Amino acid sequence: MSSRRLPLLVAFCVLVVGVLTVLAVAAVPTHRRVPTRTTVPQQFPGPSRLTASLATNPVGRAVALYRQGTGLALAGSTQTLVLGSDGGTVRRLDGGRGGTGAAGADTASLSPDGRTVAVGSHRLSGGADVTLVDLASGQTRSYVVPRVLGVVPVAWSADASRLAYLGTAGPSAHPAGQLFVFDVASHRAVPVPGADVVTSAAFSPDGTRLAIQSPGASAVRVVDPRTGTGTALPVPDGEHLAGGAAWSPDGDLIAVSDGDRRLDFVPTQPGRPAPAPLTSAGDVLGWSSGSTVVHARPAATGAGEFRVERTDVRTGTTTAFWSVPTPAGLDVSGVSLATALLPGATPVPSVPADRGPWPVGLRVVLVVGAALLSVPAVVGLRRRYDEFRRIDAAPEWARDVSRG
């Protein structure tokens, strides 16, 4: 074989073996063991192109889901992240039918037990769908919702057996539409009677009732999802149901918000006293107990980071829970917590994020680079080898450099 071809052959062999190894490893999904204790780091990780996809590297169980990015429809500009219940594992959620597409363009909601993510899609041609993502395996199941252009998950029942979602006329900053209740086991969705135009909903702790609100309504309706019958609870002017986790776990209170800086609490039993309003508090993300609400802090009061706090509604005492750094242009939105895990969650100092294996494309680039870098080394070794052979073949007197 020509000595000129040997370096190219070696580099080619390195390239082939490296690429095949990378592709073989990437094709094998990883499965993480679910930790026995839920931990919440003081600071959540931000987006990164090195974050592995949930589809091939599942987290097992999650404590939080959140979206961070520029908000622009550009590749890689926004990521939906899922943080494992171990407090350190983070993965990228790819949303939509079949688990592909940008979840940032859709609406995602984490189940209370942290095992499933519901992703609602928007299809301008009709037939939008809701996709359930199993966080233990990364597998997805999609269910088409006929005659609607958009699906927006708004609330889970406490046992994660049912999902309430809106069937909308398309993407909107303030979606509204027919309210459906989807049974996870039977895969059947049933419209809630009388809930034709709804903006928000929250299940009662036992799952037998729904708190719902229509656009501009000055009351929250508490209804039976099967019949649509119920009662109306007046709310302060301009306030709305404070998210899908607005109902306290003891069933006594429903939180409403002005959408920016104030939380009020409406007793579910008329005549009972209401706790004092909370100021500098955003929408409700969950409850640590019957009286301790987990809520976002308004962006204006948390410059440079997105903050989440815990407040005892009886005493007004507030403590920091966790935060996400928000460098210029990287806003946080779409936050959803595993509400059933919050009572036992343990805050821990921030730890380095486990983002999983590097993307296949990057690993292939590194292998190709290694192969190319091997060419000069092989050329040098080949030259040294040829030089030694010439010296060995020379007469004894020619090898002795001490002779003039």
pLDDT tens track for 288-307: 999 999 999 977 655 689 99
Most confident listed range (70-84, 136-150, 200-214, 319-333): 200-214
Pull the structure tokens for residue 7: 């370096």
The DSSP secondary structure of 136-198, one letter per residue, reads: TT--EEEEE-TT-SEEEEEEE-TTSSEEEEEEESS--SS--BEEEEEETTTTEEEEPTT-SSB
**Which structure tokens are listed for 157?**
């029942």
339: helix, strand or coil: helix
Tell me the pLDDT tens digit for each residue of 110-158: 999 999 999 999 888 778 999 999 999 999 999 999 889 999 999 999 9
The number of residues in the chain equals 404
Residues 6+ apart with CB under 8 A from 112: 156, 157, 158, 159, 160, 338, 339, 340, 341
| pLDDT tens per residue, range 304-336 | 899 999 999 999 999 999 999 998 778 899 999
What confidence score (pLDDT) does residue 99 get? 39
User: Taking the C-alpha atoms of 351, 115, 195 and 219 in order, what is their torsion angle to the nearest 10 degrees?
Assistant: -40
- Residue percentage of the chain with pLDDT more than 90: 62
Which residue stretches of 232-359 are H helix? none
In the chain, what are the domain boundaries? 1-30+361-387, 50-273+331-342
How far is residue 214's CA from residue 192's CA, in Å, rounded to a whole number? Answer: 13
Between residues 30 and 175, the one the model is more confident about: 175
347/331 Cα distance (integer angstroms): 23
Other Cβ atoms less than 10 A from the Cβ of 217: the count is 17
Q: Does domain 50-273+331-342 have CATH number 3.40.50.620?
A: no
Cβ–Cβ under 8 Å, residues 177 and 148: yes
Mean pLDDT of all residues in 333-349 = 95
Q: Which two tokens stand for residue 327?
A: 């460098």
Asked if 163 and 181 count as a contact pair (C-beta separation under 8 A), the reply is yes
